[in-house]
Structure formats: C-alpha cells, structure tokens
C-alpha cells in the first residue's frame, strides 16, 4: 500500500506554481524524509496530501486509494504543522477533551499517560507552555488518534536540540510500537539521517529524487580523479554535482548497472545521506544534462571541494 500517491499533481497560486507535475508513490512502513529548499513545494505537497488544499492539476490519494481530504483519508491521517497550532487559552486537559470529541478514535489513556511522562500538567494552558512542551502536546494529540500515517511539517524548526531529540524519540517509539508510517519535512539533515529510511527530495516545484535511503546510497558515489581526465570519463557517468580541489576533481555520480568500474587513477568513495541531499540541492538539473552539455557544465564548475 502507498500512503501517499500522486499523478501530475500541481498547485497554482495566482500565476505562480508552488508545485507542478508531481508524480510520486510513497510506500507504507517507512519514515520518510521530505527535504528541499525554502519555496520548493514541500508544505504544498503535504497540505494537498492531508486535504488542506485542493489541487490545481492532477490528483493525490492516500492510504491506498482514498482521495485526499475524504472522510476515510482524514480518519487515518494525523498532521502536525510547523507552528504546532494549539488554542493558547485552552489547558492540556481541554485540548484532550476537544480532540476526543472531534475524532472517531482517541486513546485518552495513552494521551494522559504520555503527558504525565513528559511532566506536562493537565491544567496548564497551552500559552503557558514552552515551545518543546507545545510540540509534544500537539504530537500526543496526533498519536492518540491512532493514525496509520503521521505527517509532520517542520515541527522541530523552533525547538532546541534536547526538545528535538525528545520529539523524535516519541515519533520513533510510535513507529516501533504501532507501525505508524511517517512523512517528515525538515531542514535538519543530521537528524533526518538518524531516523529516515526513505527520501523524497523536492526542488523547483517538483520531485527530483525519491527512494529508499539504502538504495540511493548504494547507487551513488563520489569519484575523485585528475581534472585532465574529466572530459574523457564524465560523459559516461550521470553526474549530479562536481567540485574541484587543486588538480583533483570530485564528481558525485549516480551509477547504473551498465557502468564500468572505476578507471585507473580514480578513487570511489561512499557518501552520507546529508552529502547526497546537498548535492541534489546544489545541482537540481545537472544530472539531466545531455552528455556534451554535462561535460561542459562540469569543466566550468569551480566551487569549493566536496566536504569530506
């Protein structure tokens, strides 16, 4: 089952496309990292998936085949937005009561036990809580609905490192205990690398990369060799990003089964999820260039050496 599936999905605001021609299939059972620069369309994609926005083009379904925003879809999805919206004048117990009455399923015992474990008094108003406490309350309300899919849109943006760690610990416990699928949008690449096993990279209003992290890392590598050899070999490789350090060229490449071995004088290095993500963010169109154009692009690239 795919928890989110879209075909030609797009959203236009006025004359500006926030998301365009997005075709995607995210399988269940993963913690998905949704990454991309500001304005890339991440929040738009998530809002369309949870039914908070209506597509301008294409379609999107969730949890198998339910149209986004339909009653069946809403029943199985929980959403925590970036600003963890809570009614500031309501206490934690009031928020539990309201959420229970608005949803068909709500695990009151779990919610109360979770807040007690976090030492968040039930009588404390949301406006009197710290940012970390508000985020944990919002997450607790979401998980108490027992969703199949948990959608998180940069919920840790305003949290300190300890609060981020505690927040993600709660998410991963829910994944382990209840089999919740998670789609998490965040700019904190180091934390995503620790928890995510599936990557969706959005840039320029469309999906650039999507797949299981292990497969993506296995099919990419950093090749280091003499600058003089670039024109000879680069045309054979699908180069994502290039950088130069002295007489050496560093090429992050996407490998195919038909690729030859590493040529003499070159070395291949594995890479991290953070390195892979940064490469596609820096060069969102380089891998699509035709052979001669790609070589010209690589030879003209003069940037700082690839971080090791």
255-265 confidence digits (pLDDT tens): 765 556 777 77
Contact 184, 32 (CB under 8 A): yes
Give the C-alpha separation, 119 to 161, whole Å. 19
* pLDDT on residue 155: 81
Q: Which residue has the higher pLDDT, 228 or 113?
A: 113
Strands (E), the chain: 2-13, 16-27, 31-35, 57-62, 66-67, 77-80, 149-153, 181-185, 198-203, 206-212, 220-226, 238-245, 248-254, 267-269
Give the C-alpha separation, 129 to 169, whole Å. 20
Q: Which residue has the higher pLDDT, 60 or 283?
A: 60
Is CATH 3.40.50.300 correct for 2-214? yes
How much is the mean pLDDT over the chain?
84
- Show the tokens assigned to 155: 């919920």
* pLDDT on residue 229: 66
Count of other CB atoms within 10 angstroms of residue 119: 7
pLDDT of 4 above 50: yes
Count of other CB atoms within 10 angstroms of residue 117: 11
Which pLDDT band holds residue 114 (cuts at 50, 70, 90)?
Answer: very high
Q: Which residue has the higher pLDDT, 305 or 103?
A: 103
* pLDDT on residue 260: 63
Q: For the chain, what are the domain ranges?
A: 2-214, 219-300
Contact 168, 242 (CB under 8 A): no
Picking from 122, 8, 16, the residue whose alpha carbon sits closest to that of residue 58 is: 8
* pLDDT on residue 221: 86
Which pLDDT band holds residue 302 (cuts at 50, 70, 90)?
Answer: very low
Which pLDDT band holds residue 141 (cuts at 50, 70, 90)?
Answer: very high
* pLDDT on residue 160: 83
Q: Which residue has the higher pLDDT, 212 or 223?
A: 212
Which of 85-94, 161-170, 268-277, 292-301 bottoms out in mean pLDDT, i.e. has the lowest?
Answer: 292-301
The strand order across the sheet containing 31-35 reads 77-80, 149-153, 181-185, 31-35, 198-203, 206-212
Which of 16-30, 123-137, 283-297 bottoms out in mean pLDDT, i.e. has the lowest?
Answer: 283-297
pLDDT of 294 above 60: no
Residue 276 has φ and ψ, to the nearest 5°, of -60, -45
* pLDDT on residue 85: 76
pLDDT of 75 above 80: yes
Which pLDDT band holds residue 26 (cuts at 50, 70, 90)?
Answer: very high
* pLDDT on residue 230: 65
- Note the pTM of the prediction, 2 decimals: 0.84
pLDDT of 237 above 80: no
Which pLDDT band holds residue 27 (cuts at 50, 70, 90)?
Answer: very high
Contact 250, 223 (CB under 8 A): yes
Percent of the chain as helix, strand, coil, to the nearest 5: 35, 30, 35
Which pLDDT band holds residue 192 (cuts at 50, 70, 90)?
Answer: confident
Three-state DSSP state, 238: strand
pLDDT of 287 above 90: no
Which pLDDT band holds residue 235 (cuts at 50, 70, 90)?
Answer: low
Residue 19 has φ and ψ, to the nearest 5°, of -150, 140
Three-state DSSP state, 239: strand
Which of 83-92, 105-114, 166-175, 224-233 bottoms out in mean pLDDT, i.e. has the lowest?
Answer: 224-233
């Amino acid at each position: 089952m795919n928890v989110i599936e879209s075909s030609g999905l797009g959203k236009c605001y006025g004359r500006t496309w926030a998301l365009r021609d997005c075709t995607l299939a995210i399988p269940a059972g993963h913690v998905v990292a949704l990454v991309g620069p500001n304005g890339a369309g991440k929040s738009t994609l998530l809002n369309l998936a949870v039914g908070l926005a209506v597509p301008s083009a294409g379609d999107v379904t969730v949890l198998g085949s339910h149209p986004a925003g339909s009653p069946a879809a809403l029943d199985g999805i929980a959403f925590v937005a970036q600003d963890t919206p809570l009614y500031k004048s309501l206490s934690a117990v009031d928020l539990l009561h309201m959420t229970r009455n608005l949803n068909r399923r709500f695990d009151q015992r779990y919610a109360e036990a979770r807040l007690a474990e976090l030492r968040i008094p039930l009588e404390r108003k949301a406006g009197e809580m710290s940012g970390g406490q508000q985020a944990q309350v919002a997450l607790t309300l979401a998980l108490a609905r027992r969703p199949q899919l948990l959608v998180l849109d940069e919920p840790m943006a305003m949290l300190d490192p300890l609060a981020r760690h505690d927040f993600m610990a709660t998410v991963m416990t829910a994944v382990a205990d209840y089999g919740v699928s998670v789609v998490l949008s965040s700019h904190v690449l180091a934390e995503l690398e620790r928890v995510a096993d599936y990557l969706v990279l959005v840039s320029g209003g469309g999906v650039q990369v999507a797949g299981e992290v292990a497969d993506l890392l296995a099919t990419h590598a950093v090749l280091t060799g003499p600058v003089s050899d670039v024109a000879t070999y680069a045309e054979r490789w699908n180069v994502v990003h290039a950088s130069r350090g002295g007489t050496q060229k560093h090429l992050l490449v996407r490998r195919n089964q038909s690729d030859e071995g590493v040529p003499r004088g070159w070395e291949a290095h594995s890479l991290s999820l953070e390195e892979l993500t940064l490469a596609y963010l820096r060069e969102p169109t380089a891998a699509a260039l035709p052979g001669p154009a790609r070589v010209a692009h690589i030879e003209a690239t003069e940037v700082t050496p690839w971080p090791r």
